[in-house]
């Protein structure tokens, strides 16, 4: 049993590479912010905007991952910290772009089309020219009147009140003076002489030229907002109080035409703050995940390079031994972490077996000569076959295995062992041993009947010899018996040579009349 050992980064990094990584993410994030804000403004689908947000963060993370790879930064914690800091500044820059465009679209464009006197004072140039007094006297009367009257004396419709910014709502609730509410200190000036000059020069100018060029008020551009974070945050709060889009669409809807409606359907307040917080998370998480994955991927110290992932990679799929068990993944992980060779107990999922709804997939990366190898195992569950929808879960990641393990993995699926891999295919060895055992068993099974036949033949041969000997002896005995049986007969019936005595085998024939016998025969 060999317990699993996962890869641990060495936390080594290049300071110069770290700085370049940070700067590159800032620059790339600043450039991409323009494109991101424009796409968010013109795309009406919220779901598509969510994907764009994720892609924005992933693009910046991908740039950081490139520098992590090139400068061999193997410190995931430091890489993530640098990414978070870079993303924070990128996020601030994104807000600068957003607010600057918001001013251009909803304030400056309108100011360029309206007369300054009508836009700021609510009176025409002709009315200013027809005034009986002018100069500082007119300015003093103007200042006195607007400072004495309160904002509650101005009639606002319910819809106009609904579009108040947070700052305007606060001033209206406090019932400040008209002078303070419209911020005439910036529009006209603080002193009587300054106001008198402003009233004289306001004639014939549009609101934008008068306010930005003549009054020299700062334009809320990207550069200005970057160095004035207080004004940036104030503008963000004002946008939040009014809202810029609805739940049906992400298009900006705050315009003069939208104010003609009876209600404000724009998302604002707490819900909008939560939306922006979610947007921030969708940017930060992909960027951090990509950089962390790159910095935490196996690095081969003796090669001074990152581990190699073969492309195209071979398919190592295994049949799920617990397809209907909800705890099957946990059981397999526990068994694998206790013994990495338990993977070889699974049945390989070969092409001729077709597709399954649940299976395990093994992938690996390796050093140049396969001295270090790291295995990753995923579990796939097909949830919708028609739409090819599936859920992929990482079971184990970056588990160290030796060259024999890689060679055996290839052997199980019938793949050739990689050229630089010095490992031994234990799967092939096991097959050879099994085949040898079968051959030995078959040979033993073949030899055993021969030995039995030889033994039987050896056992039967003496019997046959005895039987043959008996058969050989038996005729001799029979012949001898026959001879013995025939010999007395021959002795009894054979004529004797001596007839003179008249005896026939001891019978007295002297008294027999032979002549009479002869006559009878004739």
Three-state SS for 218-279 is CCCCHHHHHHCHHHHHHHHHHHHHHCCCCCCCCCCCCCCCHHHCCCCCCCCHHHHHHHHHHH
Q: pLDDT tens digits, residue range 477-500?
A: 444 334 433 443 433 333 334 433
- pLDDT category at 456 given cuts 50, 70, 90 is low
Mean pLDDT, residues 159-167 taken together: 83
What pLDDT, on a 0 to 100 scale, did the predictor assign at position 158? 84
User: Residue 256: is its pLDDT beyond 50?
Assistant: no
3-class SS of residue 380: strand
Q: Which residue has the higher pLDDT, 439 or 483?
A: 439
Beta bridge partners of 391: 381
Mean pLDDT, residues 244-258 taken together: 45
Range from 103-107, 264-268, 364-368, 403-407 carrying the lowest mean pLDDT: 264-268
- pLDDT category at 457 given cuts 50, 70, 90 is low
Range from 27-36, 224-233, 445-454, 498-507 carrying the lowest mean pLDDT: 498-507
What pLDDT, on a 0 to 100 scale, did the predictor assign at position 442? 64
Do 505 and 492 contact (CB within 8 A), yes or no?
Answer: yes
User: Residue 266: is its pLDDT beyond 90?
Assistant: no
What pLDDT, on a 0 to 100 scale, did the predictor assign at position 490? 38
Range from 190-199, 299-308, 372-381, 448-457 carrying the lowest mean pLDDT: 448-457
Burial class of 118 by CB neighbour count within 10 A (0 to 12, 13 to 18, 19+): middle
What pLDDT, on a 0 to 100 scale, did the predictor assign at position 432? 65
Mean pLDDT, residues 402-420 taken together: 93
What pLDDT, on a 0 to 100 scale, did the predictor assign at position 308? 95
User: Residue 365: is its pLDDT beyond 70?
Assistant: yes
Average pLDDT score, the chain:
82
Tell me the whole-structure pTM to 2 decimals: 0.72
User: Residue 509: is its pLDDT beyond 50?
Assistant: no
Residue of 313, 362, 367 lying closest to 342 (CA atoms) = 362
What pLDDT, on a 0 to 100 scale, did the predictor assign at position 286? 96
CA dihedral 111→115→120→125, nearest 10 degrees, is 170
What pLDDT, on a 0 to 100 scale, did the predictor assign at position 448? 60
What pLDDT, on a 0 to 100 scale, did the predictor assign at position 249? 38
What pLDDT, on a 0 to 100 scale, did the predictor assign at position 437? 64
- pLDDT category at 259 given cuts 50, 70, 90 is very low
Alpha-carbon 330 to chain mean position: 18
User: Residue 135: is its pLDDT beyond 70?
Assistant: yes
What pLDDT, on a 0 to 100 scale, did the predictor assign at position 480? 39
Helix axes 229-242, 76-103, angle to 10 degrees: 70
User: Residue 257: is its pLDDT beyond 80?
Assistant: no
Q: Which residues 6+ apart lie within 8 Å of 124 measured at CB?
A: 115, 117, 118
User: Residue 218: is its pLDDT beyond 90?
Assistant: yes
Residue of 214, 215, 203, 206 lying closest to 128 (CA atoms) = 203
What's the length of the chain?
522
> How many CA atoms does the CB half-sphere of 141 hold within 13 Å?
9
User: Residue 90: is its pLDDT beyond 90?
Assistant: yes
**If you ran DSSP here, which 8-state letter would residue 313 be given?**
P
Q: CA 282 → CA 26, 64, 287, distances in Å? A: 18, 17, 9
Q: CA 3 → CA 334, 337, 341, 431, distances in Å? A: 10, 6, 9, 25
User: Residue 512: is its pLDDT beyond 60?
Assistant: no
User: Residue 474: is its pLDDT beyond 80?
Assistant: no
What pLDDT, on a 0 to 100 scale, did the predictor assign at position 494? 37
Q: pLDDT tens digits, residue range 23-49?
A: 999 999 999 999 999 998 888 788 899
User: Residue 263: is its pLDDT beyond 80?
Assistant: no
């Amino acid at each position: 049993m060999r317990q699993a050992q996962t890869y641990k980064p060495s936390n080594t990094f290049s300071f110069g590479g770290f700085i370049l990584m940070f700067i590159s993410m800032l620059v790339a994030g600043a450039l991409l912010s323009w494109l991101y804000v424009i796409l968010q403004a013109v795309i009406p689908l919220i779901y598509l905007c969510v994907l764009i947000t994720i892609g924005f963060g992933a693009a910046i993370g991908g740039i950081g991952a490139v520098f992590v790879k090139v400068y061999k930064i193997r410190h995931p914690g430091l890489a993530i910290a640098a990414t978070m800091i870079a993303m924070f500044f990128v996020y601030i820059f994104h807000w600068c772009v957003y607010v600057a465009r918001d001013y251009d679209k909803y304030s400056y464009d309108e100011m360029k089309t309206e007369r300054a006197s009508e836009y700021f004072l609510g009176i025409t140039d002709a009315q200013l020219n027809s005034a009986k007094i002018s100069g500082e006297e007119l300015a003093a009367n103007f200042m006195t009147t607007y400072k004495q009257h309160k904002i509650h004396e101005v009639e606002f419709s319910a819809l106009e009140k609904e579009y108040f910014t947070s700052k305007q709502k606060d001033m209206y609730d406090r019932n400040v003076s008209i002078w303070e509410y419209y911020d005439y200190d910036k529009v006209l000036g603080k002193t009587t002489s300054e106001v008198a000059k402003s009233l004289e020069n306001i004639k014939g100018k549009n609101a934008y030229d008068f306010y930005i060029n003549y009054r020299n008020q700062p334009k809320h551009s990207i550069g200005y907002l970057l160095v004035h974070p207080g004004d940036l945050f104030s503008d963000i709060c004002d946008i939040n109080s009014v809202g810029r889009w609805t739940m049906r669409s992400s298009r900006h809807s705050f315009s003069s035409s939208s104010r003609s409606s009876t209600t404000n359907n724009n998302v604002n307040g707490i819900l909008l703050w939560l939306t922006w917080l979610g947007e921030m998370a969708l940017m930060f998480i992909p960027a951090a995940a990509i950089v962390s994955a790159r910095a935490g991927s196996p690095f081969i110290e003796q090669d001074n390079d990152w581990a190699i992932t073969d492309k195209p990679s071979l398919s190592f799929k295994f049949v799920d031994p617990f397809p209907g068990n909800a705890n099957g993944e946990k059981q397999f992980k526990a068994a694998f972490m206790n013994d990495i060779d338990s993977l070889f107990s699974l049945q390989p999922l070969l092409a001729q077996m077709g597709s399954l709804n649940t299976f395990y997939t093994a992938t690996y990366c390796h050093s140049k000569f396969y001295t270090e190898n790291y295995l990753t195992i995923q579990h796939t569950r097909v949830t919708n076959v028609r739409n090819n929808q599936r859920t992929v879960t990482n079971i184990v990641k970056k588990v160290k295995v030796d060259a024999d393990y890689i060679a055996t993995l290839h052997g199980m699926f019938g793949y050739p062992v990689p050229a630089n891999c010095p490992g031994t295919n234990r799967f092939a060895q096991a097959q050879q041993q099994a085949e040898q055992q079968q051959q030995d068993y078959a040979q033993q099974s073949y030899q055993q009947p021969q030995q039995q036949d030889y033994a039987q033949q050896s056992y039967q041969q003496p019997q046959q010899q005895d039987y043959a000997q008996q058969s050989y002896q038996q005729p001799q005995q029979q012949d001898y018996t026959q001879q013995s049986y025939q010999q007395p007969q021959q002795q009894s019936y054979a004529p004797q040579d001596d007839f003179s005595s008249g005896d026939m085998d001891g019978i007295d024939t002297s008294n027999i009349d032979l002549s009479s016998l002869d006559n009878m025969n004739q």
